[in-house]
Structures are given as structure tokens and as C-alpha cells.
Structure 1
Amino acid sequence: MDPQRSRHRRGEARAHRLHQLPHRRAHRDLEIHCRGDARRHQAHGAVLEQQLPQEAADPHRGARHQPLRAQRRQGRGLFRQHQPQQGRAELRAQDRAAGQRRRHARGHHRVRPAGSNDPAARRRHRQGRHRLAQRLQRTDARPLRHQDALPICFHRLFTHRAFKTGKPLRATLAILGSAAIEGPITAWVADHRKHHDFSDQVGDPHSPHVEHGHGFSGALRGLFHAHVGWLFLHTHRGAKERYARDLRAEPMIMTIDRLFLVWALGGLALCFFAGWALGGSVHAGLTGLLWGGGVRMLVVHHVTYSINSICHFTGRRGFETPDESRNVWWLAPFTFGESWHNNHHAFPTSARHGLTRWQFDLSGLVIRAFEKTGLAWDVVHITPERMAEKAAA
């Protein structure tokens, strides 16, 4: 073969490869992009399944989650259309195995409901969900007092999100908690969340063990600071922008937060008019204001602050936690179950702080009544297995 002709052919082949190079790179970039889309779709679906309740996360429980499943199928389709025919079965098997490993690692094991292939069973399930949705709109809960709403609303609902409820009951609990006059809801939640982040360490807003010295005098200074002294110091208070960001994003909660003085003064006025209506005189109204306002505030505030001081200083520890939280049984009736403080620090998101039958927890009983009547859902319950695992750790 002529050398000149051979060089000419090699030059044409090189030019053809250079011409095709941008197309190959574009195809490779498209393939990488589609793989990323597929993985993001799968990760997004896994996160939503983790956040949704069990009945919503199960794909066999209705057709309203069809768009999510369609997106995930579309993402997998984009990934597979750029793969060769050979090896698709292996890829599908790897995807299924990886999904099972992720679900087992998160502790979410989806179980197909019994009778899911039966049209009548699916119809009964849809009707049951419709009745449940109607019950969730009801707000005819038993009348709550201010001190009832404080541990249920500010602490277990808004701070730790131990359960979910509808907007009417959510707003009612927030207003009643504000009427207890322990501060606006965002400030209360921010301080308590920071307390859990820095419990009994530098940065804890009300720890009796940090920076108070040693001996008997140091213990007294620490107890005084944890009880009421921390209210007059602002060096370790929780920043609302960091610790109450989710509440600040809710317009309804921010409206209630801005109207804190209205709810506080409204509660005091209600006590005055209740006494006036019962006694028929201004003297009776002032008596109602004294007992329903002043005495009630004094008792409720000191009972609440005793959790910060006494429950971090003396009592029993059922679980090993990195702080000094304790269970104080004799405070449980006065704090509506909040004094099972070691249980709470071991399982902060639990709706019940009294984890055994003999540990009285009035707030947990109220939340259970909400759950039974359909006013609350996604209630966090701690199983005996988790308690045993935590106790053995």
C-alpha cells in the first residue's frame, strides 16, 4: 500500500475521531446526569417515605402518592435508557438490595397490608381513612387549663414534635401555653432545645452544675441559677434564628408569638371576670385575679423551674445519659409527668415521659386521649425493646 495513501487514511480516521469527541463527551455527560437524577429521585423518595406516616408511605395504601412513584419510575427510566440491554436485571437486583439495606438501616420495614389485592378491602381502607380525616377536623377536646397546655404544647408538641395535630388544636394549645406567662413560644422552645444540645455543659441556659463552684456554696449557687437565676442572664439563651427556625417559618405560630401580651393579659382578665361573675362584686373579681392569676403563676412557674433545678440535682437514673438528669417521682403529680426527666433525656421525642405503668404522666394520658379520638397522630411511642437496649447501653 502506498505510504502516502496510508497516512491520508490515518489522518481521516483521526479527524473523524476528533469530530466525534464532543458527541461522545456529551453522551457521557448526559449518562452521568441521568444517573444522578435517578439517584436523587430515589433518595428524595426515601426521605419522603421516612417523613410520612406509615399508612402514607406504603404504596399499596391509595392512589394519592402516584405522582411520587411516577417520578421515581421516570428517574429509573432515564438511567436505564442509557444503559446497554445486557446487565439490566443485575442493575435492578442491585437497586433492590441497596434499597433494602437503606430501609433496614433506618429501621423502616414496609409491610404489605393484609388484603391489599382485594378491591373490597381497599375500599374499606379508603373509607376508614376518610372517617379519620373527618375526625381530625374536630376540636372538641376537653377544656385545658394553662398549666395543662404548657407541657403538652410548648414542650412535647412544639419543642420535640412528639405528635402532630390539626391547626385549630395546634393554635389553641399555643395560646393556652402563652397564657401561662412563661414567655413567647419561640423563646421558650429555643431555650429548651439549646438545653438539650448543651445539657449540663458550658452553653446550657440553666444547668446547676456548670460554672458555679464546688462544695455546699457552689451547689446552692447552682440550684438558684437553675431555678430562677438564669431568667436574668442572657449569655446562654437559645437563639431563635437557630433553635426555633421551624416555628418562625409558620405564620400562625409567629402571629401567636407576637401577640404574647394579649394572651397573657387576656388570661388574667378572664380570672377577674370569672371571679366577678361568681361573686357578683369587684372584690370577688380581685379575689379571682389573685388566686387564678398571681397564685397560679407563682405555683406553675416554680413547679416548672423545679424541673431545671431539682431534676438535674437529685433523684434516680433509669437510663445512662451524658448529663445529670434524674427521675423525681414525688414531683410527677405537680408537673403532670414532666419530672420523669431522665426518661425524657433518654428519649426526648417520646410523647410519654412516664415509660412504665406506675410512672404517672398526666400529659401523656391527655396526648393518648387525643390519639384515641383522632385529634393527634404520628404519636411517638417508645417500645420495650428500645428501652431495654438503652438501659443495657
Structure 2
Amino acid sequence: MSRDRCEVNWIIPTRGANASTGTVKWDPVHSLWNGGMLGVALIAGPATFTWSAFAVFVILTGAAVLLGHSVGFHRLLIHGSFKTKPLIAKFLVWAGTVAGMSGPLWIIRTHDLRDWAQREPVCHPYLAHGKSILHDAWWQLHCTLQLDCPPDYDLRSVERERFYRFLEKTWMLQQMPIAIILWLVGGWGWVVWGVCARVAITVHGHWFVGYLAHNVGPQSWIVESSGVQAHDVPWAAIPTMGEAWHNNHHAYPGSARMGLKPGQLDLGFLFICCLEKAGLAWDICLPEAMPERRNSLREV
């Protein structure tokens, strides 16, 4: 794993790797999961709506996105932008799995393939969110890209963690304990809203903000060497826990802080700061620790 936190950490130099040519194929596992969760939410959600079920939906969605997707998966596992105690790291990665997109190994591969490809001069439109919004929705939520000449990964440090391998194999089943608790406390309405609607909005919201973040919105930086540039999505700063400051993230990928300018709320970074004050997080990477990165950036 590279020491440079602005590098793509889990992909290793691969001779002949090409980001531009490949075939998009239907991914039955994620397609049926994503479509099934959305279908149950749309059909059963209105029939089971209560304000308590909606409150469960809001609280659990926020917790899974904050603790799991933003802090656990993205800033900790993928980018290594801070360090924490092993048990806390495992909890945060479990929370990321519970967010419902997939297991930790799949998330790393999917993220870093896109990260690597967008830094190439030309990349496949699947990886650049380069098609129309409906076309991209079908691709991202129901399909996978098989590159003709893909890069290699070095995931040994993650794969040797038995708990992470367990999460990878059982990522769908991780919803079951939550569903059982919700059913015992609040009945089927809490299950529909606390599991199905939560997973559906997380998955589809993640895609939608990602699509916007690579197509439209304000920019502060241009990464000179990258074929695909990013945009910020300011209205999504709160629901994404700061992940929507995506132009900032492309500028400083290894930074634990994504809201870099005054007024850019970043709840994920604030949570990491709380961990630091409690003595549970350290070695937190910030842009000022990467002055050499400025050589690759042009302010706009």
C-alpha cells in the first residue's frame, strides 16, 4: 500500500492496463439487491408509513452514511486518511457494510478502479459517469464494467483480516440482525423503512450525487493530469456527511477533511475530530501536510 495518500492506494502499477476499453455487463447480484430494496420501499413504504418508522429511517440512514460509508469505508479503509484503534476500525467498516451498497473488498475495488481511471487521460464513460443520467443510472446500479486490460490490486492487508472477509461474504445478511430488532420493537413498518427504504435511498442517493459530482457544479480546482474533473454538490453536503465536496476531494484525495473552505460543512471530518479529542483517532491527514500536491492543481 502506497505511503502517498494522494495515490490510488490499492491498485498497483500494471503493464498494459487501459482505462478506456471494456464491456458493460449486467450484474445480477447488485441489480436484484438494489432493485429489490427500491421496489419494496416504493410498494410497502406508503402502506407502512408512521412517523416513528420515518424517524428510524432518518436516524439509521444518517448513522450508516456518517459512520459507515463516509468515515469507515471512504476516509479510513480506502484512503487511510486517519488511524484508529482496531476495534473501532472494524466497527466503522461494519457500519459501512450495513449501509447496504456491498462488502468492503467490493467497495475498495469499485472505488479505486474509478479513481485510477479518472486520473488517466481517457477513461471509459462508465467510469467517468459520461452518459445520460438514465443511462448512467442503469449502468451504475445494475451493471459492472469488465475492462479489456484491467489493473491489478494488492488487497493482502485487508484480505488477511478474517472479519473483513466475513463481511464481504455476508454483506446482505448483515441487514438481518437490524431487521429482527426493528421488527421486535416497531413491527413491519420499522423494517420496511429502517432497512429497505434506508438501503434504497443510500444506494440511489450515492449514485445520484456521484453523477452530479462528475458532470455539473462549482469547482475550485482543476487537477492538471486527470482526464476527468470533479464538481462540488453543495446542497448534498449534509446528507452525504461532507462527501459532496467532491471537487475538493479530487484535489486532495488523501485528506480526512473534504469541506476545505469556510462554510463547507463536513460532518464526517467533525466526527473524526471528536474521535481525536477522545484519543481514538490520530495521524489525521490534511491538505497542509501535502504541499507538493499544489504542483498538480490549478485554482479556478
Deviations, residues 291-317 of structure 1 (Å, cap 9, x unaligned)? 111221222222211232111111011
Are 1:152 and 2:75 matched, yes or no? no
Q: How far apart are the structure 1 equivalents of 2:98 and 2:287?
A: 31
What corresponds to 1:280 in structure 2?
none
Name 2:99's counterpart in structure 1: 180
1:309–1:326 Cα change, 3 Å: same
Return the match for 2:177 from 239, 250, 266.
266
Q: Which residue number corresponds to residue 128 of structure 2?
A: 207
1:318 corresponds to 2:220: yes
| 1:287 partner letter | G
Q: Which residue in the other structure is 1:382 paired with?
A: 287
Corresponding letter in the other structure for 2:160: A
| Cross-structure match for 1:251 | 162
Shift in alpha-carbon separation, 1:324–1:391, aligned structure 2, 3 A? closer
- Provide the secondary structure at the position in 1 that maps to 2:145: coil
Q: Cα deviations across residues 40-90 of structure 1 (Å, max 9, x unaligned)?
A: xxxxxxxxxx89xxxxxxxxxxxxxxxxxxxxxxxxxxxxxxxxxxxxxxx
Matches of residues 277-356 of structure 1 in structure 2 within 5 Å?
285-321=187-223, 322=226, 323-356=228-261
Structure 1: distance between partners of 2:255 and 2:197: 31
Contact between 2:220 and 2:248, CA under 8 Å: does it hold in 1? yes
8 Å Cα contact 2:82-2:256 kept in structure 1: yes
Q: Deviations over 1:321-356 (max 9, x none)?
A: 222210111111111111100110111111011012
Q: Across the two proteins, how many residue pairs are aligned to each other? A: 233
How much does 1:192 deviate? 0.3
**CA distance in 2: counterparts of 1:365 and 1:236, whole angstroms:** 37
Q: What stretches of structure 1 move > 6 A for 4+ residues in a row?
A: 237-241
1:239, CA displacement in angstroms? 7.7
Identity fraction in percent:
24
Q: Which residue type is aligned with residue 154 of structure 1?
A: F
Question: Does the CA-based 8 Å contact 1:162-1:351 persist in structure 2?
Answer: yes
**Match of 1:13?**
none
* Change beyond 3 A, Cα 1:235–1:384: closer
Residues 327 and 392 of structure 1, relative CA distance in 2, 3 Å threshold? closer
- Quick one: structure 1 residues 392 and 301, their matched pair in 2 at CA, closer, same or farther if it must change by over 3 Å? closer
**Shift in CA distance, 362/226, structure 1 to aligned 2, threshold 3 Å:** farther
Comparing both chains, which one has the higher relative contact order based on Cα–Cα distances under 8 Å and sequence gaps of 6 or more? 2
Match of 2:50 in 1: none
Q: Distance in 2 between matches of 1:314 and 1:155?
A: 22
Report how far residue 233 of structure 1 moved.
Answer: 2.4
Higher helix content, 1 or 2: 1
Secondary structure at 2:230 match in 1: coil
Structure 1 counterpart of 2:90: 171
Larger fraction in strand: 2
Whole-angstrom distance in 1 between the partners of 2:163 and 2:299:
43
Query: What is the CA deviation profile of residues 234-278 of structure 1, one whole-angstrom value per residue up to 9, with x for unaligned ones?
Result: 234898961644312323322332232331222333332331xxx
In structure 2, relative to structure 1, the CA distance for the partners of 1:197 and 1:357 (3 Å cut) is same
Distance 2:70 2:137 in 1: 17
Gaps of 5+ in 1: 1-49, 52-142, 213-219, 276-284
3-state DSSP of counterpart to 1:202: coil
CA RMSD of superposed structures (Å): 2.9
Q: Indicate conservation of the 8 Å contact 1:150/1:177, yes or no.
A: yes
Larger Rg: 1
Change (3 A) 1:205 1:186: farther
Distance (whole Å) between structure 2 residues aligned to residue 204 and residue 374 of structure 1: 43
Q: TM-score, normalised by structure 1?
A: 0.54
Q: CA deviation at 1:384?
A: 9.1
The equivalent position to 1:370 in structure 2, one of 275, 279, 282, is: 275
Question: How far 1:204 moved relative to its partner?
Answer: 6.7
Aligned counterpart for 1:224 among listed residues 120, 125, 134:
134
**Which digits, 9 at most, give the CA deviation of each residue in 1:212-252, with x for residues without a partner?**
4xxxxxxx2xx234434223322348989616443123233
